Amino acid sequence: MRRIILAGLLGALAGLWEIAVRPFLPIPFMFRPLLMIVVMLLVVSRRSRAVASAAAGAIVMDLYALPVFDFALLRWLLLIFCLDLLIRRVLTHRSWYAAVSLVLVGRFLEYSTAWLIGRVSFWTGFTHVAWSRDVHWWIPAIWDVGFVSLVFFILVFLTQRFVTSVLRPEERSFGRF
Amino acid sequence: MFRPSRLLMIIGLCCLTLFLVLAGWLHSVGDLARRATLPAVRFVSKNAAAVFLSRSSSNVSLSPEEVRTLESRLTRLAVDYTRLKALEEENKALRLQTKFLTSSEFDSVGAHIISRDLRDERALLLIDRGLQDHLEIGQAVITDEGIFIGKIYSLKERVATVELFTDPHSRVAAALAGEQRLIGVVEGRGNGAARLTYIPSSEKIQTDQIVVTANTQDKVPQNLPLGIVNAVLGKPTDPFLSAAIEPLVHLNQISLVSVLRPSVFRSP
């Protein structure tokens, strides 16, 4: 329980970063940490902590959202569900490729759901400010890939968690002719 | 993976929350949460702005041509400033002589910018003042130097959104400095640009003239400087001219603002 609370605090800090620090950063440093944290927690199979950190971060973002109608909590819970489905059914192996694919799919889903909610609320008249894509949308994606790769390799180095214990068939001595 | 029952529970919870949000029943919870978290958000954004805005402003590089243009503009403004200062002194003396009572209709309340969205298509700021500070939609927002930057766009109990005059949805009635009458409307063009439109072609407008707010909006006092004319666009035969307006302050470098509210809320 304590670790779930810690994950929630980490998510809230990430949300705080996204609303109160990121807008003041120079463009190349405008990274968004919440998705990176959530994806790494999913990669190491800490689903409940991932949900806690996503929910806490989304609540902070909802509290201080600019007048674009957004429902970050709903979006992020949906995102977690999709990523969890993906990691269980498609990207079942734990590799660097899987982690990077997961974070890129996550970023795409995050933008897509924000666009969908923003557009629907604009069309239905809930807001007069339409959601618009960030011009530098690819900068957070680059940071996502970099951060996830770095943390993944650090985890491999420190914990030996994802090192394969079985040799590939062509490298087995008994399989050679 | 999530079990079907748990998934249904999450979906149900989300739907219930969405319904409560749309019905407005979670406003008080949101206000309570904002009350608890606003000091932390204010602290973080204040420090982030202090660190990163000062750093980015020191990295501004200008070409020699831009420097020359700015120097000539500065010289002209210095001349204007000297003349205005002399007039101000004269005005003060006259007021003293006639025992004129100065009473402004507006009072200002300072606010920190806690978040912002300065994209090509949008120019919005989130400030740490709201309904509890007697703010209203449409009130003027100025910098420390008294330069108009925008108006209050939306309000919550403890926070408010400011729409900068460079936002494509913003419209501000404007006049030329020193002249009282309305000359046109400042329309935001996004990306830090604005344009003064609907200028009657009979008006004599020139580059480097200061554009100020006009006295046609209830909650915006007149004569607040907002920009400088960069270029006049249009042919003499056109019914209306337009002018490119350059803001007097770097709108992406602001961290503190003041909101002008009616003076009845002035603290004793």
Tens of pLDDT, residues B166-196: 998 899 999 888 777 888 999 998 888 899 9
B79 found inside a domain? no
3-state DSSP percent of chain A in helix, strand and coil, to 5:
70, 0, 30
Taking alpha carbons only, the member of B198, B190, B230, B229 closest to residue B216 is B198
Taking alpha carbons only, the member of A60, A80, A79 closest to residue A13 is A60
Query: Rounded to the nearest 5 degrees, what angle is found at the Cα of A55, between the Cα atoms of A121 and A124?
Result: 5
Residue B149 shares a structural domain with residue B210: yes
Residue B160 shares a structural domain with residue B249: yes
B64 found inside a domain? no
- Which structural domain, as residue segments, surrounds residue B140? 103-268
Residue B129 shares a structural domain with residue B37: no
pLDDT score at A172: 53
Inter-chain touch B126–A74, beta carbons under 8 Å: no
**Distance in Å, alpha carbon of B259 to nearest chain A alpha carbon:** 18
| B49 DSSP β-pair partners | none
> Using the 8-state DSSP alphabet, how is residue A110 labeled?
H
Nearest Cβ partner of B122 from A25, A89, A129?
A129
Report the number of distinct structural domains present in chain B.
2
Chain-wide mean pLDDT for chain B?
81
pLDDT per residue as tens digits for the range A21-59: 888 888 888 889 999 999 989 888 888 888 889 989 998
Cα B210 to chain center, whole Å? 16
Residue B38 shares a structural domain with residue B143: no
Longest Cα–Cα distance in chain B: 84
Task: Select from A64, A69, A82, A91 the residue whose CB has the most chain B CBs within 10 Å, as the one to mutate to test that interface.
Answer: A64
Q: Indicate the SS3 state at residue B258.
A: strand
pLDDT score at A156: 84
Low-confidence ranges of chain B (pLDDT < 70): 1-7, 54-61, 93, 95-104, 264-268
Instruction: Kindly list the distances between the CA atom of residue B93 and the CA atoms of B88, B89, B178, in Å, as whole numbers in the listed order.
Output: 9, 6, 20
Residue B133 shares a structural domain with residue B241: yes
Check: CB of residue B41 under 8 Å from CB of residue A19.
yes
Inter-chain touch B41–A129, beta carbons under 8 Å: no
d(CA A82, CA A106): 8
B98 found inside a domain? no
Nearest Cβ partner of B30 from A63, A85, A129?
A63
- Chain A residues with CB under 8 Å of B159 CB are 64
Question: Cβ of B119 under 8 Å from any chain A Cβ?
Answer: yes
Taking alpha carbons only, the member of B123, B126, B119, B122 closest to residue B42 is B126
ipTM > 0.85 for the complex: no
User: Alpha helices, DSSP H only, in chain B?
Assistant: 4-23, 27-58, 64-98
**Distance in Å, alpha carbon of B220 to nearest chain A alpha carbon:** 22
Domain containing residue B230: CATH number: 2.40.10.340
- Chain B residues with CB under 8 Å of A64 CB are 34, 41, 114-115, 126, 159
B253 found inside a domain? yes
Cβ-proximal residues to B246 (8 Å cutoff; 6+ apart), any chain: B193, B227, B228, B230
Inter-chain touch A24–B40, beta carbons under 8 Å: no
B139 found inside a domain? yes
Residue B148 shares a structural domain with residue B254: yes
Chain-wide mean pLDDT for chain A?
83
pLDDT score at B266: 58
Inter-chain touch B126–A64, beta carbons under 8 Å: yes
Its sign, for the CA torsion B213, B216, B220, B222, is: positive
Residue B54 shares a structural domain with residue B117: no
User: Alpha helices, DSSP H only, in A64-137?
Assistant: 72-89, 96-123
B92 found inside a domain? no
Share of chain A above pLDDT 70, in %: 85
Residue B20 shares a structural domain with residue B135: no
B33 found inside a domain? yes
Residue B258 shares a structural domain with residue B141: yes
* A to B CB pairs, distance under 8 Å: 83
Nearest Cβ partner of B115 from A19, A73, A77?
A19
- Chain A residues with CB under 8 Å of B32 CB are none
Check: CB of residue B168 under 8 Å from CB of residue B121.
yes
Inter-chain touch B124–A66, beta carbons under 8 Å: yes
